[in-house]
Amino acid sequence: MTNGLLDTPRYRIAGDRGLLVEYGDRIDLAINRKVRSMAVLLDQSPPNGIIEVIPTYRSLLIVYDPAETEPETIQTGLEILEGRLADIEIPPPKTVEIPVCYDGEFGPDIGFVAKSHDLTEDAVIGIHSATEYPIYMIGFTPGFPFLGGLSEKLHTPRLESPRTHVPAGSVGIANNQTGIYPVASPGGWQLIGQTPLNLFNPMRKNPFLYNTGDRIRFVPISAETYRQMSEAEGHR
């Protein structure tokens, strides 16, 4: 094992039609790059019987049709594909700017985060918006980006009791991660702000504004700017 990257992938059965392939044991950009590279290879040369490939932080979940293939056959195909990793080019990341209002009603937990770290709310905003966050994976709800790179100064535990309703566009912190709720849902993250952007729109050609591997930068905006952008988006 080198820097968390396994010398040999670990294969685990996931239900009656899933194969989980683990490439590392931690959240790490190099491990995630291998995950995304293998996902690209599988997209270019999909083995028979594979229905879907879902990349995560450090692994791939491969969903297959058991009437057409089996885990041992998929594993053999993956081992062959590994020999082509050096030649694969994954799409270059783009940086997506996400405007966020951290004021009052939009960030109900920002005061708690600030107090937990002996910071002012302005300091929390400054630290949170100073980083370009890599998107390790997208999931939980449509378009929810799990981001790496949150400053240790802002690491804050989840809520003891999750909310039953988190508004769409809410930006939150949970332990060493930050992310955005694209749609309204239950959730237990500490909410520090909200974006007026419509992050998930199934009517768009590309329903999402970003992809796994891209980077997100949060840009602080005022409550007035939030309301103007929200009206322009036409989704609230």
- pLDDT at residue 87, as a whole number: 78
Q: Does pTM top 0.75 for this prediction?
A: yes
What structural domains and CATH numbers belong to the chain? Answer: 5-87 (3.30.1360.40), 95-233 (2.40.100.10)
pLDDT(167) > 90: yes
Can you give the pLDDT at residue 205?
84
Residues 182-211: tens digit of each pLDDT: 999 999 999 999 999 999 888 888 888 998
Query: pLDDT (tens digit, 9 = 90+) per residue, 99-132?
Result: 999 998 999 999 999 999 999 999 999 999 999 9
Least confident of 96-100, 110-114, 133-137: 133-137
Q: How many residues belong to the chain? A: 236
Four-residue CA torsion sign, 210, 154, 176, 188: negative
Closest CA to 166 of 132, 203, 130, 140: 140
Say whether pLDDT at 1 is over 80. Answer: no
In which residue are the tokens 């010398």 written? 7
Average pLDDT value over all residues in the chain:
91
Burial 186-217 (b: 16+ CB within 10 A, else e): ebebbbbbbbbbbbbbeeeeeebbbebbbbbe
The mean pLDDT value for 142-167 works out to: 95
- Torsion angle, alpha carbons of 139, 143, 146, 148, to 10: 150
pLDDT of 80 higher than 90: no
Whether 226 has a pLDDT exceeding 90, the answer reads yes
Contacts of 173 (CB under 8 A, 6+ apart): 109, 113, 128, 150, 154, 155, 156, 189, 190, 192
Give residue 7's pLDDT.
82
In the structure, what pLDDT confidence band is assigned to residue 235 with cuts at 50, 70 and 90?
A: low
pLDDT digits (tens, 9 = 90+) for 23-53: 998 888 889 889 999 998 898 888 899 999 9
CB-CB contact of 236 with 196 (8 Å): yes
Confidence of residue 89 (pLDDT cuts 50, 70, 90): confident
Strand order across the beta sheet in which 177-180 lies: 95-100, 215-220, 132-138, 145-147, 177-180, 170-174, 190-194
Range 175-185 average pLDDT: 95
| Banded pLDDT at 2 (limits 50, 70, 90) | low
pLDDT beyond 50 at 236 = no
